[in-house]
Structure 1
Amino acid sequence: MNIALIAHDKKKNDIVRFATAYKNTLAMHQLYATGTTGLRIQEETGLDIHRFQSGPMGGDQQIGAMIAQNKMDVVLFFRDPLTAQPHEPDINALIRLCDVYAVPLATNMGTAEVIVMGLERGDLSWREIVSGE
């Protein structure tokens, strides 16, 4: 499965801890991330991650393009709801695309854990049918 990892600045430590905790599961999938988030996860876990631009520089849109082409299966986006983001329209567009294309989306650690545990059990195998893999 193709999994996107994204985190706002104040949530980067959380997503690194999450990726560390679920490293074995994540390693079985193709990982994508926005720039700085991907670099932090790579450096601290050793996971192989395809890195896009940082979010404000278009990384959210690059991941959104994969969603629109039905090439992204899961998005783990640790959002900071208490800090205004200058690229908020891009964030909203990414979330909307997940809804349009039925891509499971977690915006916090609790929901991300449920999705990753579902991956471990095979609960998301329907994505392979939808994406044609």
Structure 2
Amino acid sequence: MTIAIIAHDGKKADMVGFIKDHHQLFNRHNIRLIATGTTGAHLERAGLEVEKMLSGPMGGDAQIASRLVEGEVDMVIFFRDPLGKHPHEVDVNMLMRLCDVHNVPLATNMAAATRLVQSLE
């Protein structure tokens, strides 16, 4: 199973904490993490293993969307900052739309992500 990890700048620390909190569960179930570049770099600095794509504004959201369409992504956890402006909002919307089109679970906040991750048990 592969989970895509994305976080807007204001949510990256929350994402690192969330992934660290659930790291043992991911290891136990042999879950592979992929992430946009900057989010992935934050995860790596926290000692977590992740495959990094480009940063979101440079095409990382689109890279993850491509893998999702090819059936290589089973779940997306995307901590969005709903109050910020994001230059790559078009890519973000495309990724979220493709989650709906391909019936891939998508969590956009910590509460939803916790529920999705708990379903793995």
* Smaller-chain TM-score bracket: over 0.9
- Give secondary structure in 1 for the equivalent of 2:73: coil
State the TM-score, normalizing by the size of structure 1.
0.87
Query: For residues 117 and 91 of structure 2, what CA distance do their matches in structure 1 show?
Result: 25
- Partner residue in 1 for 2:38: 36
Which residues of 2 match residues 116-127 of structure 1 at below 5 A?
116-120=117-121
Taking only the aligned residue pairs, the percentage that are identical comes to 50
Q: Deviations for 1:55-94, whole angstroms, at most 9, x for unmatched residues?
A: 0000000000011111100000000000011111100000
Unaligned runs of 5+ residues in structure 1 are 121-133
| C-alpha contact (below 8 Å) 2:43/2:49 kept by paired residues | no
What RMSD, in angstroms, separates the aligned Cα atoms of the two structures? 0.8
- Partner residue in 2 for 1:100: 101
1:9 correspondence with 2:9: yes
Query: For residues 71 and 2 of structure 1, what CA distance do their matches in structure 2 show?
Result: 7
1:25 correspondence with 2:25: yes
**1:43 CA displacement:** 1.6
**1:42 CA displacement:** 1.7
- Give secondary structure in 2 for the equivalent of 1:119: coil
Query: For residues 14 and 47 of structure 1, what CA distance do their matches in structure 2 show?
Result: 14
**Deviation above 3 Å: which 4+ runs of structure 1?**
none
Query: For residues 52 and 25 of structure 1, what CA distance do their matches in structure 2 show?
Result: 23
**1:119 CA displacement:** 1.1
Which residues of 2 match residues 53-64 of structure 1 at below 5 A?
53-64=54-65
**1:40 CA displacement:** 0.8
- Give secondary structure in 2 for the equivalent of 1:5: strand
- Partner residue in 2 for 1:110: 111
State the TM-score, normalizing by the size of structure 2.
0.95
Unaligned runs of 5+ residues in structure 2 are none
| C-alpha contact (below 8 Å) 2:10/2:81 kept by paired residues | yes
- Amino acid of the residue matched to residue 107 of structure 2? A
Q: How many residues align?
A: 119
Query: For residues 6 and 37 of structure 1, what CA distance do their matches in structure 2 show?
Result: 6
